Amino acid sequence: MIRANENFNKLQASYLFSDIAKRVQIFQDTHPEMEVIRLGIGDVTRGLSPAIVDGFRQGVEEMAQDATFRGYGPEQGYPFLREAIAANDFQSRGADIAADEIFVSDGAKCDSGNFQELFAKDIKIAIPDPVYPVYLDTNVMAGRTGNYENGRYQGIVYMDCLKENGFMPKLPKTPVDLIYLCFPNNPTGATATKDVLSAWVDYARENNALILFDAAYEAFIRDDRLPRSIYEIKGAKEVAVEFRSFSKTAGFTGTRCGFTVVPRACNVYAADGSKISLHGLWNRRHTTKFNGVSYPVQKAAEAVYSEAGKVQVKEYIDGYLANAKVIRQTMTDLGFDYVGGENSPYIWIHGGGRDSWDFFDLLLNKAGVVCTPGGGFGRCGNAYIRISAFNSLENVTKAMERVKDALK
């Protein structure tokens, strides 16, 4: 008899985006004249920059000729892209990462979800609350948690991120083996200083733990004092893996490309305490289960690092940051407490005592604006909403005018 993986029974059905869609539909049906403005889902809205389209086109044209056609490429990515990434994203910032420590993939969701396969079932895992749900759900599927009770899975060490601690996860009191961190953060938009990351690197070194650092939003960092990569922190190379994505950096949510950095210096431990190369394990897993990103997509990603590409990508992100500024100013004017939006596309707003779904309904029904209720990201999000800067400046401005009218 073919039997199911019963760990899936523990998963909480994610009604978040379907619930949002239902409520928006009801509103639209009863207010057909109202144009709904969506600042909910974290998807980009602007077209690919010209330099990227040129790279893409060049890749497609090469594929059309026998002489330049490419079939299966290296599973880890073409050297031209791995070298461009290592030089521009890491070495130029003083982080000593080599091209062969970079694994190109179809995005950070798959990699951040799949990485846990490399670890034993009984490790202790620390996860922030609120959180990008992929880290949690993939560990539930793998059987590393107990049941879901009072809004939490048994067996996980949750790290509350609230106003009281500046939305920064605190070092756990009991030792943990695997730590998920994400900065700039989804959903809160909070960013971590070098000191904060240094404390985590020290913790990981002292406890023979590993940090999985999700830097999918690093391109939004404009404050030069903030680290863009965990490898800007001394000692991180031995204890951290980093996930990156071209999705938000350059509009690749539909094009699909990202990468994971697994330094050769990183080890895990066998049951007898001997060291095993994490790079070797991930390479084995990646080459077994993944067959590479398409050549034109890698050419498009390479163009992100061309002279023209760098200028255009900066302008691309600047556009979303300008939207974030409008949202922040509106929330300041209305007297709301919020975090994020300065080096991040997300603004995390405290509802002033409202439950996150009540606040969501208020903005939808009174302003025709869609946000994301914070409760969908964990128990600590129940008093918050997330507003995203991914839309046009015109729409964001219109949305914020409506929010002001509705709430003043």
**Judged by CB, which is closer to ligand PLP: 28, or 45?**
45
Retrieve residue 40's tokens.
């909910």
Nearest alpha carbon to residue 62 among 76, 40, 78: 78
Residue 91 contacts residue 105 (beta carbons within 8 Å): no
**Judged by CB, which is closer to ligand PLP: 132, or 403?**
132
Of the residues 128, 169, 251, 258, which one makes contact with ligand PLP according to CB under 6 A: 258
Of the residues 116, 139, 198, 247, which one makes contact with ligand PLP according to CB under 6 A: 247
The yes or no reply on residue 253 touching ligand PLP (CB under 6 A) is yes
Residue 184 contacts residue 340 (beta carbons within 8 Å): yes
Residue 13 vs residues 23, 121, 238: alpha-carbon distances, Å: 17, 23, 36
- C-alpha atoms less than 13 angstroms from C-alpha of 149 in its C-beta half-sphere: 6
Scan residues 28-87 and list those touching ligand PLP (CB under 6 A). 42
**Judged by CB, which is closer to ligand PLP: 179, or 367?**
179
**Is the bond preceding 133 in cis, omega lying within 30 degrees of 0?**
no
- Report the nearest approach of ligand PLP to the CB of residue 201 (Å): 20
**Judged by CB, which is closer to ligand PLP: 182, or 236?**
182
Of the residues 95, 192, 216, 371, which one makes contact with ligand PLP according to CB under 6 A: 216
**Judged by CB, which is closer to ligand PLP: 313, or 362?**
313
Task: Quote the CA–CA distance of 334 and 408 in Å, as a whole number.
Answer: 7
- Report the nearest approach of ligand PLP to the CB of residue 34 (Å): 27
If you ran DSSP here, which 8-state letter would residue 184 be given?
S
Task: Quote the CA–CA distance of 236 and 86 in Å, as a whole number.
Answer: 16
**Judged by CB, which is closer to ligand PLP: 107, or 263?**
107
Of the residues 49, 76, 138, 245, which one makes contact with ligand PLP according to CB under 6 A: 245
Among the candidate windows 15-23, 106-114, 162-170, 383-391, which touches ligand PLP by CB under 6 A? 106-114
Query: Considering just the CA atoms, what is the radius of gyration of the chain in Å?
Result: 22
Residue 349 contacts residue 334 (beta carbons within 8 Å): no
Scan residues 123-152 and list those touching ligand PLP (CB under 6 A). 132
The yes or no reply on residue 103 touching ligand PLP (CB under 6 A) is no
**Judged by CB, which is closer to ligand PLP: 97, or 293?**
293
Of the residues 38, 39, 82, 109, which one makes contact with ligand PLP according to CB under 6 A: 109
Task: Quote the CA–CA distance of 133 and 214 in Å, as a whole number.
Answer: 13
Task: Quote the CA–CA distance of 108 and 218 in Å, as a whole number.
Answer: 13
Task: Quote the CA–CA distance of 161 and 158 in Å, as a whole number.
Answer: 9
The yes or no reply on residue 214 touching ligand PLP (CB under 6 A) is yes
**Is the torsion defined by CA of 201, 205, 207, 208 positive or negative?**
positive
Of the residues 84, 95, 99, 108, which one makes contact with ligand PLP according to CB under 6 A: 108
- Report the nearest approach of ligand PLP to the CB of residue 297 (Å): 12
Q: How big is the site for ligand PLP, counted in residues (CB under 6 A)?
A: 14
Of the residues 107, 227, 251, 375, which one makes contact with ligand PLP according to CB under 6 A: 107
What is the separation of C-alpha 244 from the centre of its chain, rounded to a whole number of angstroms? Answer: 8
Residues that bind ligand PLP (CB under 6 A): 42, 107-109, 112, 132, 182, 186, 214, 216, 245, 247, 253, 258
